[in-house]
Structure 1
């Protein structure tokens, strides 16, 4: 009887092995079914990037026709070329400009010199860079900063100008050059995705007095309004 006890223990242990294996197998299969659910095996979806809004303006006006002839005649008397001198551009749909200049002789009262220019910059919307109007805002700020930082400028003043496009800033200053005291008026304006910059300056020669800065600024604002209107007209 004493010898049979160890043998009986081994028999009971071996008999228990299949039961444990079966139990373990059932437990593993049950857990596998739960992990095989679609929500657990599906790869996470990648959300698409939001698309930028399209630019409002797709064209630019002809720069030399963006300012009315009668305005050019008024601002630049005796202009060398009333039709203007166009800036060179590799892509006239995104960049362009024009300028006029003339010396009006007033006999014994001397001469008055005037120079007027208008330039345009248009931005398309771009998925990587952003919306066209936002890119135009950045360029607008750079143009204002550049005008204020003109080398040799004195009595620099700037202020917002309402009623010209979506944004507008006027910058005025005095500048001594070619032995004359020049008055400058710059109007930088943004309408949607286009920036228009108007620069108007003048000086008196041969004893003539320099023009009044306030008058130049008023005339520059008039030209800027016409430039903005020409952008809208070009895209109808």
Structure 2
């Protein structure tokens, strides 16, 4: 039922209450509106780095275009894998993008991305089989970029091999880019140095991030 304006005026000594109600309503509406995100889509991870880069960091790569890993929603999360064996030198590279939307009345896409980035970093040290873990900052890449180098042992049947690994986690607004780069020397071949693995991973991260638009 509509209340006459004169009655409302007579029941109130001032207009302050009405203004407060309007202000409260606007605040509630604002709180319920999700913050806009910068990135609305993701690039194809298998096309995020050039074929020349792939051949440089994955010698003997079996397929330059990589293998796109299946995910439920390619526009929210996608990933591409390259592997290669050159004589006894083995390399594996995975490039992954994770995009977050803002939640209505909840966390912004940027905040959700920051939380995911932190989890990806922490998961390396949380794995007890990873050794010689060392973190480093990668300046000038995205809003924040962290590199984690570590060694690990992987078993294949009765054999086991020592791998040199490097993960880079890049945060850019509501998108998280992850580069996982792995190197091993089979049959006693020498592994590359941690510094070499780091530099190759950083080259991939910088190139892949430029594909996010």
Other-structure match for 1:113: 90
Change (3 A) 1:206 1:37: closer
TM-score, with length taken from structure 2: 0.85
The CA deviation string for residues 126-170 of structure 1, in whole angstroms up to 9 with x for no partner, is 232222111111111111111222340111111221121111110
Partner Cα distance (1:131, 1:181) in 2: 41
Partner Cα distance (1:41, 1:69) in 2: 67
Return the index of the structure with the highest Cα Rg: 1
1:69-108 equivalent positions in 2, closer than 5 A: 69-105=51-87
Q: Secondary structure at the match of 2:55?
A: helix
Partner Cα distance (1:224, 1:147) in 2: 18
The CA deviation string for residues 186-210 of structure 1, in whole angstroms up to 9 with x for no partner, is 0000111100000001111122111
Gap regions ≥5 residues in structure 1:
1-33, 106-110
Partner Cα distance (2:172, 2:76) in 1: 14
TM-score, with length taken from structure 1: 0.77
Partner Cα distance (1:212, 1:224) in 2: 19
* Superposition RMSD in Å: 2.0
Other-structure match for 2:44: 62
1:177 shift after superposition: 1.8
1:38 shift after superposition: 5.2
- The question of whether the paired residues in 1 share the 8 Å contact of 2:34 and 2:105 is answered with no
Q: Secondary structure at the match of 1:98?
A: strand
Other-structure match for 1:206: 187
Partner Cα distance (1:141, 1:172) in 2: 16
